[in-house]
């Protein structure tokens, strides 16, 4: 193979359309726009979703629900999951290392589910009233 043998694939290069250049070109007279009507005119376009004045589909259908962007950043951890950790001071980094929360978590709340039998110190985490009472009853603290 040589550089002078290289050719583009079949159909890769197409001839440019030269509209309104006579009957013989195949695109004379109406220049491929048909006869009359909105699309035959200059500037005869309509916006995406326009249905000729009829109420468009995107306005006919009901809008449902709400997806919070903060939801991915906040997660919950249960009290019995904290009991399985070896650390006495539990922070967000400890929970990430243990695989209890995702890397994208910014806020973590400890929820009362299960029990904890040892004193732990929560640092930089939120806790429900019940979880806070259970931690303090076990001799721990919540910052």
pLDDT at residue 71 in the model: 86
pLDDT at residue 123 in the model: 93
pLDDT at residue 84 in the model: 87
Read off the pLDDT of residues 78-111 as tens digits, 9 standing for 90 and up: 999 998 888 889 999 999 999 999 999 999 999 9
Q: Which domains does the chain have, with CATH numbers?
A: 18-47 (no CATH), 71-142 (3.100.10.10)
Q: How many residues can be counted in the chain?
A: 143
Q: Return the residue matching tokens 């962007």.
A: 69
H-helix or E-strand spanning residue 137: helix 129-137
What would the two tokens of residue 128 be? 């429900």
**What order of strands is seen across the sheet that includes strand 74-78?**
74-78, 107-111, 126-127
d(C-alpha 65, C-alpha 70), whole Å: 15
Using 50 as the pLDDT threshold, list the residues of the chain that sit under it: none
Parallel, antiparallel, or unpaired for β 107-111 and 74-78?
parallel
pLDDT at residue 101 in the model: 93
Cβ pair 90, 112 in contact under 8 A: no
d(C-alpha 115, C-alpha 81), whole Å: 9
């Amino acid at each position: 193979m040589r550089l002078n043998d290289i050719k583009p694939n079949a159909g890769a290069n197409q001839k440019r359309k030269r509209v309104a250049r006579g009957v013989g070109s195949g695109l004379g007279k109406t220049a491929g726009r048909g006869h009359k009507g909105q699309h035959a005119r200059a500037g005869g376009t309509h916006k995406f979703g326009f249905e000729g004045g009829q109420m468009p589909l995107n306005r006919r259908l009901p809008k449902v629900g709400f997806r919070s962007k903060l939801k991915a950043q906040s997660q919950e951890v249960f009290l019995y999951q904290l009991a399985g950790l070896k650390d006495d001071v539990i922070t967000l980094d400890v929970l990430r290392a243990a695989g209890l929360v995702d890397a994208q978590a910014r806020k973590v709340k400890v929820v009362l589910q299960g029990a904890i039998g040892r004193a732990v110190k929560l640092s930089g985490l939120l806790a429900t009233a019940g979880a806070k009472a259970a931690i303090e009853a076990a001799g721990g603290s919540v910052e």
